[in-house]
Structure 1
Amino acid sequence: MTSGLLDAVTHGLGVAISPLVIIVLVLILLSSRARPNGLAFLTGWLVGLAALGAVIFALGGFAAGGAAHPFEGLVKLGFGLLLLGFAWRVWRREQGANGGPGWMSSVDTFGVAKSAAAGAFFAAVYPKNLILTAAAASELAKSSTTAQEIGGYLLFIAIGSVTIAGPVLLYLLLGQRVDPLLRRLDGWLGTHSWAVLTVLMLVFGLKLSISGIIHLAGA
């Protein structure tokens, strides 16, 4: 497996494991407009990932000037340090905390437009996902052919969307019969999301930081 495809898989998993995003989706699926809003959220999510990848590909990734150019190493190191900083912030702020942000109480009032906008935001603007998506797309931008870029990025989107598409499709198939499962998932994530997010950002923060340092050492 090439470096780009490996990053597509690993970073896709990092995007898929997004506790806050899953909680928001669960709240949408437990609302009175679950079907249209759930589909809108999923659509916004997919569009957000596709749009961010298209921007990175259009910029040619971060490997300006060749594989040994120090700019790529600096970007990777910067991304890694940002994720480590976010991990520390989440650990300090959320450890032992109950509940989520205040705005989450209004999720059940969302319409289709707001649900789609929320999906796009969490895919392309939410810091963890933005960083992991940009890093994956940047690596894939080094591929020798456009087909390899597109194929690798489609793999990234597929892996990164499993935890979003899965609940939506399950609800479309089973309807309110999945509500008990969704409520248990919401309860578990409400208690443990800070720990999951901290570990995830710590792992990817170290990965990107070390990769950036190695790149700079070889530049």
Structure 2
Amino acid sequence: MGAAIGEILPLALGVAISPIPIIAAILMLLSPRARVTSVGFLLGWVLGIVVAVTVFTLLSSILPEQGSDASNPAQGTIQLILGALLLLLAVGQWRKRPRRGVEPAMPKWMQAIDKMTFPVAFGLGFVLSAVNPKNLLMGAGAGVDIGSAGLAVGEIVLVIAVFTVIAASTVLVPVVGYLVAASKLRDPLDALRGWLEKENAVIMAVLLLVIGVSLIGKGIAGF
């Protein structure tokens, strides 16, 4: 089980460091309905992570078992494909980075955050974690690692829980912190939001590059 947790840690961090959901959570915390929308977003975010990883874990269980020489071409092929897709996304993110002096363009839905209700915030959190291509690919990579590790059901549940806690931490911490000490966190959160908006594309490009190369390395090792 320890080996499986070690395998999924980089992927969990990849989901956690995604700037867009962090910015969305911060904007909700700075909105008039902070407590309602932020909690809804957090719950949707966590559920989306759990669903994505669980689905791919179940799907990976039907892959052929590794051979006597510890090779697993089916798993290796999937990891190569996932790694290549992450590299393509990394290139796309790098090309989208704003030029100096140009304000980065953020998604239009962020302008409507002040008017969001609990169900809308919940749905947005779920979509960003379970359907967003970047996070979906990382969830798929984690599911393949977990499902092919030969773990018992209880161990699989525990590894998925570890992945979820780490992946959701960057949304969980500011939301819980705000609920506990709202007045002290407004200025730091606003400053963090501004920095993430400017560096979003660069952060994601580097992140996707590193994780993509890691998955390709795992894929090559599977042959």
Same fold (TM over 0.5): yes
The answer to which of 95-104 and 85-94 deviates more is 95-104
Report what 1:52 is aligned to. 52
- In the TM superposition, residue 137 of structure 1 has moved relative to its aligned partner by 2.0
Match of 1:111 among 104, 109, 117: 117
Q: Is the 8 A contact 1:8 1:155 kept in 2?
A: no
Is the aligned partner of 1:98 residue 2:103?
A: yes
Matches within 5 A, 1:30-179: 30-59=30-59, 61=60, 64-67=63-66, 68-96=71-99, 98-99=103-104, 100-141=106-147, 142-179=149-186
- In the TM superposition, residue 196 of structure 1 has moved relative to its aligned partner by 0.9
The answer to which of 65-74 and 188-197 deviates more is 65-74
Residues matched between the structures, number: 215
The answer to which of 6-15 and 147-156 deviates more is 6-15
Secondary structure at the counterpart of residue 94 of structure 1:
coil
- In the TM superposition, residue 179 of structure 1 has moved relative to its aligned partner by 1.1
**Percent of aligned pairs with the same residue?**
31
- In the TM superposition, residue 62 of structure 1 has moved relative to its aligned partner by 6.3
Structure 2 regions of 5+ residues with no counterpart? none
- The separation in 1 between residues aligned to 2:29 and 2:151, in whole angstroms, is 41
- The separation in 2 between residues aligned to 1:197 and 1:63, in whole angstroms, is 32
Q: Which amino acid aligns with 1:146?
A: V
- In the TM superposition, residue 41 of structure 1 has moved relative to its aligned partner by 0.5
Q: Is the 8 A contact 2:75 2:144 kept in 1?
A: no
Secondary structure at the counterpart of residue 120 of structure 2:
helix
Q: Is the 8 A contact 1:63 1:138 kept in 2?
A: no
- The separation in 2 between residues aligned to 1:73 and 1:62, in whole angstroms, is 14
- The separation in 2 between residues aligned to 1:119 and 1:176, in whole angstroms, is 24
Q: 1:88 to 1:95 in 2, by over 3 A?
A: farther
Secondary structure at the counterpart of residue 147 of structure 1:
helix
- In the TM superposition, residue 2 of structure 1 has moved relative to its aligned partner by 3.9
Q: Is the 8 A contact 2:56 2:139 kept in 1?
A: no
Secondary structure at the counterpart of residue 65 of structure 1:
coil
Deviations 1:70-119 (A, max 9, x none): 22222111111111111111111224252312222122221111100111
What is the aligned-residue RMSD (CA, Å)? Answer: 1.6
Match of 1:190 among 197, 203, 212: 197
Secondary structure at the counterpart of residue 98 of structure 1:
coil
- The separation in 1 between residues aligned to 2:91 and 2:3, in whole angstroms, is 28
- When the two structures are superposed, what TM-score results if normalisation uses the length of structure 1? 0.92
- The separation in 1 between residues aligned to 2:116 and 2:190, in whole angstroms, is 19
Deviations 1:24-47 (A, max 9, x none): 111111111100111101100111
Report what 1:209 is aligned to. 216
